[in-house]
Structures are given as C-alpha cells and as structure tokens.
Chain A
C-alpha cells in the first residue's frame, strides 16, 4: 500500500508568527484595544491619568527645599514660576523631619533610636528568613530588653532582671512539663514570673545597680513621637499579638467548656468594641482597675490594649486556617500517638498558619496603620500629632498636603514591605504542588 500523498516526510522549520501576532503589538491589541468598550475604557483611563498628572505634577516639580517659612516658599515659587503658580513646600520637611521621626526625643540621644532600629532588623532576620544562622535567635530573645533599654534608658539592670522573669517562666515550664503537662506547667511558670516581677524585680535590680551601675540617660515616654512611636507600638503589638491570638484560637476550639467560653467571650467582646474606645480605656479607665499606687506608662498601656485588640482578630484568622484543614490531619496525628500540644505545634499550626498568612499580614498592616489612632489619647503619632504641631508653628502655618504626603509615603513603604514579605513567605512555604 502506498503512502497517502498528504503525509509529510520532512520536518518543517519553525517560523515566526505573523507580525501583528507577537510581542508588544499583540499585547496591546489583546489587552487594551480588544473591542469597542475596551478601547473606550483605555482612552478614558489615559485621559484620567493625564488629568491627574497635569494637576499634580507642576506642584511636585515646583517643590522648594530651601526656605525658612511657608511665606518664603511661596515667594520663591512666585519668583521662579510666575504669579499664581502652585508648588510644594518641602522645606518644612527639611527643617522638621526629625520631629516626624523622633517626636520630642532628645536630639543628643538620636543615636540610641538609630541603633535600636538597626538591631531590630538583626533581631528580626532569623525570624523572617530561615537562611539566617539559627544562633542569631539568641539576639532575638534578648532584643526586647535591649531595645527597651536603648529607647527608654535608665539602669540596664531593670530590663535584665525583667528578662530573668521570662527565664524563670521558661525554666519552671521546662522542669514541670513532663510531670504536669503543658497548660499547668505554663500556668505555674507564668505565676512564678509574675511573682518575680512584683516582688523581686525592684530589690534585685536596685541591688545590682548599686553593685555595678550601668545606665543611659532616661527618656520619658512623653518625649516619644512620630514614627518612633508608631514603630514601637506596631512592632511590640505585632510580636505579642500573634502568640496570644494562637492561644485564643486554640482556646476557642478546645473541648474544655470553661476555656472555650472564656476565649469566645474575650474574642467577641474585643472585636465588638472600637479600638478608640479601648485606647480611651487604656489612657483613663485602666488606672482605676489597677491597684492604687501603680503607675503604668501610657505607651505600655496603649501597647497592651492594641495587642489585645489585634489578638482577637488574629484568633479568628488562625481559627479559620485550622478549620480549613481536613479532619484526617488530626486523625493521623492522633493515630501516631502525638499528644494534643505536639499535634497542634507540629501538624496543625504550621499548616493553619500557612493558610492564614495573607489574612495575618493584613491584620498586622491594619494594626500598624491603626497606631496613628493613639493621637486620640494625646500621644504624638506622625499623622495627626506631629503634623498639628508643625502647623502650629507660625512659619509653617498653612502647610497642608506636604506632611500628609510624607507620612503617607513612609507608611506605604513599611506596609508594602510587609505585604511583599507575606508573598515571599507564601511562595517559600508552598509544598502542596497544586
């Protein structure tokens, strides 16, 4: 039988696609002008962009960096670009940038803030990136005390002895866990640490300071402001709210009636109350509930309330992640003989947290932006607190857009970094190969 004539006996060489069907031309045709409606939308979009740029670009381009007051800015712009020209007065930032960053922190101690900020990244690195040597985690462990000491100053022994309280907690937990189990050992460790802080903290720190006085000039909390304040509250609340949120999520899923009820009540109550209410509580009411004579730092009080607020949201986010896991994961962990805490730690939480990464980071981002609300209780957040102070100066009265743009830009950079990190983490932890 002969071969049918339409079969090829040679392989044709590869040819490029027709000109209109490749590269940039193809992309533009497919994405911008694929139909009447899309063509219209593309043109409308271009017009909108043009209109925005036409309105704002001169303002940016006419920006003045070198002036001593808003009036001077205006006369420079008028002289250079003609009467009636609009322009940004960045000179305000040039003169007042340190207040946006440090608030009223004493200028001679700016290096302490800078050092604390740099060390923050050293402490975060091993937590955020597994490639960083594990040994650096010890730096992470001591960072809370070190950062506190650098920022607030005073004797070094206060933070050291306070950290010893956490050491005591860990020790009690480690010793008692084999005998009493995780919850009881953890509870007793916590009690031991609280007793330590209440009764041993003052005398021991005083004694050590007497023997070896090492200290920095103290800086009061009311000198804190600007991004220093936002980042202090943001970082501590983010770091503290995740573990608390996980515990609340576990509590809400617990079989134990009391634990479950308390967790549900806590989560629902906190979520049902606006953050500003809680900040007022922190600044006013909390004093009434604490034993007389205790004077809690306002930043600390706000920090605790912001942490609790974020933890309630995170608890629900994490619980959602746990609920998304198939029942079989719990059963397999049980069938292998893992106890509750091992199963949660090794099997359930790693997967549940991974699922919840986008929502967790969203919660963190909104927490960080919410730190500007502390202006309602008289703290100098960068957005309202500092901007108001700057505008109260006769020289800069009338400056409107510039401080908001600057603060907005810094917040954007910080929040966008968090968002990118979360995407990196999602990619890195992807093991399901779907």
Chain B
C-alpha cells in the first residue's frame, strides 16, 4: 500500500457535487426498505457504506444507477436527475461504473470482448481503439495475459479485477462497489482491494458497500453506517471506528471487529 493510502486526508476532494440524494424513500411491496435517505457525495470522495445485512446498503447504491427504482424523493447524479426517462437512465449508467458481488462477467465472451462490448456498442468507439483501452486497463489490474481467455477459466479474484476493468473501460466518473470481495476466497481479497485502493488514489469518486474495515481505514474519507433502511451514523473513518456515537454502531463494530 502506498503511503498516501495510509492518510486518506491527503487525497483530493473537490466541492463539486457528484451525487445528491434528497428525501429518498423506497419500498419493496409494502416493506419500507429505504427511509428518508439524504446524502451528498462530492467529486473525489471515497465512501464506505456498512451495516448489518438487510439494512438497505446494497439497495441504496443500486438506486444510484437505477438498478432499483426509488418511489419518492430525488436522486441527481452528475447533474442528471433519475426519473423514469430512459434517456437519463442510460446517460447516468454510462457515467457510473458498477462492480458486483458475483462479478457478473459475460461467460460467452472472452475477457477482451467483455471489456470492449460497452465502449463499442454504447460509446460507439471504434473496435481497435476500444481494444487498446481495454488492454490498458487489463495491464492496470495486472492481468493482460488473460485477455483471450473466457471468464470461466479465471479465478474469482481475477474475475473481479476484470469486472473492475470492464467498468473502467467506460471511463466512468463514479464507481459503485456492491460487496466486491464478499464472494472471494480470503487469499484473493487482497488483490481486489489493492486494485480498488489504487483507483481511490487516482481520485475516483467511489461508493463501496463492504465489510472490509481495513479498506475503509486505508482509503475512505467517510464511513456511512446504515441500519433498518436508514443512515444511522456517518463520520470520517478514524472518528467512526474509535469513537462511534450510536449504540447500534457500537454493537455492529464490536461484532465485526471483535474477532
């Protein structure tokens, strides 16, 4: 880990607003899964969202690229408000990269094709240029030699790094991570986290749902704790871990850090 990563304060956060969520509510049927969410993400922020399972943290970030639909309130991403207008949704989605717990690579395409698909068909990039960009990001995640293989031939950690590279090929301004290391064997978690840390150091705006508290301490400038569909506490990492305010946060931290 580079030295800057140890001190998240050194990394640049601008005043420009990347994501603005105002009074947002969401229900699954009659179940009120997100309750009055208000949050502002500035460009360059690295936010870690944690909380017990079922607290709505995944749902929250999936609302940001409209994989889930919110019912009331407002979500504005990069100046574009998410409504049922398909044009706006596609615009936001091509600006916001997402990495999933289960990688969701396309198994019928090679690694290179996985990476070039969206640039070619969404951005209309010429194939050759898209392949150059793809190779650049594959080198960045340190697996350029796997370009011609299929996802099924790679290890979990490699697949997740490919998934990160696939998102980066669209040159997103914001990256969402939905428990990116939860499906990985312990020895593979580090290679994925290293890639994410590197990304954070380059100033990417990141929202990351994770239980990797080491990652939160290393790169996050803000940790958000959610419980029962609400944001219960948020603070900069040192304060959050050393001096949690709410009882619920204290209990959660004692459970995940206690072993």
Contacts and interface: CB of A to CB of B under 8 A. Distances in A.
Interface of A: 326, 328-329, 331-332, 334-339, 342, 346-347, 350-351, 354, 429, 431-434
Contacts of B31: none
Interface stretch (B3-11, B17-25, B99-107, B210-218): B99-107
Interface stretch (B115-123, B230-238, B249-257): B115-123
Given A337-B94, A347-B106, A351-B107, A331 B67 contact: yes
A335 B86 CA distance: 13
B150 A432 contact: yes
A335 B63 CA distance: 11
Nearest to A350: B108
Contacts of A434: 152
Given A331-B104, A431-B108, 4 more contacts: A329-B104, A334-B93, A337-B90, A338-B122
A332 B121 contact: no
B108 A335 contact: no
Given A337-B93, A337-B94, A346-B117, A431 B152 contact: yes
Interface string B71-105: 00000000000000010001101101110101111
A328 B152 CA distance: 15
B152 A338 contact: no
Nearest to A343: B121
B98 to A, nearest CB: 4
Nearest to B107: A432
A331 B65 CA distance: 10
B47 interface: no
23 contacts: A331-B100, A331-B104, A332-B105, A334-B67, A335-B67, A336-B93, A336-B117, A336-B118, A336-B122, A336-B167, A337-B93, A338-B117, A338-B118, A338-B121, A346-B117, A347-B106, A350-B108, A354-B108, A431-B108, A432-B107, A432-B150, A432-B152, A433-B150
Q: Is the interface of A mostly helix, strand, loop or mixed?
A: helix
Contacts of A328: 100, 102-104
B154 to A, nearest CB: 10
B67 A346 contact: no
A432 B153 CA distance: 8
A323 B105 CA distance: 18
Contacts of B103: 328
Contacts of B150: 431-433
B166 interface: yes
B18 to A, nearest CB: 17
Contacts of A347: 106, 117
Contacts of B166: 336
B75 to A, nearest CB: 15
Q: In the complex, which range does the number of interface residues on chain B fall in?
A: 20 to 34
Nearest to B121: A342
Interface string B54-72: 0000000000011100000
A226 B11 CA distance: 79
Contact of B106 (A332, A335, A339): A332
Interface of B: 65-67, 86, 90-91, 93-94, 96-98, 100, 102-108, 117-118, 121-122, 150, 152-153, 166-167, 170
For the complex of A and B, list the 8 residue pairs with the smallest distance between their C-beta atoms, beginning with the closest. Answer: A337-B94, A332-B104, A328-B104, A433-B152, A336-B118, A337-B93, A335-B98, A431-B150
Contacts of A342: 121-122
Contacts of A350: 108
Nearest to B66: A334
B68 to A, nearest CB: 10
B138 to A, nearest CB: 17
A344 to B, nearest CB: 12
Contacts of B93: 334-337
B150 to A, nearest CB: 4
B25 to A, nearest CB: 22
B69 to A, nearest CB: 12
B100 A332 contact: yes
A337 B91 CA distance: 7
Nearest to A431: B150
A336 B97 CA distance: 7
Contacts of B96: 335
A35 B67 CA distance: 59
A363 B90 CA distance: 37
B107 A335 contact: no
Contacts of A429: 108
A99 B10 CA distance: 88
Nearest to A347: B106
B123 to A, nearest CB: 8
Contacts of B106: 329, 332, 347, 351
A339 B108 contact: no
A429 B98 CA distance: 28
A338 to B, nearest CB: 6
Contacts of B66: 334
Nearest to A345: B121
B100, B107, B152, most chain A CB atoms within 10 A: B107
A335 B105 CA distance: 12
Nearest to A432: B152
A339 B122 CA distance: 8
A236 to B, nearest CB: 29
A325 to B, nearest CB: 10
Contacts of B97: 335
A83 B101 CA distance: 81
Contacts of A335: 65, 67, 93, 96-98, 100, 167
A79 B153 CA distance: 70
A431 B170 contact: no
Contacts of B153: 433
B96 to A, nearest CB: 8
Contacts of B67: 331, 334-335
A429 B93 CA distance: 30
Nearest to B105: A332
A331 B98 CA distance: 10
Given A335-B93, A433-B152, A346 B104 contact: no
Contact of B170 (A331, A332, A337, A354): A337
Nearest to A327: B104
Given A332-B105, A431-B107, A432-B107, A346 B98 contact: no
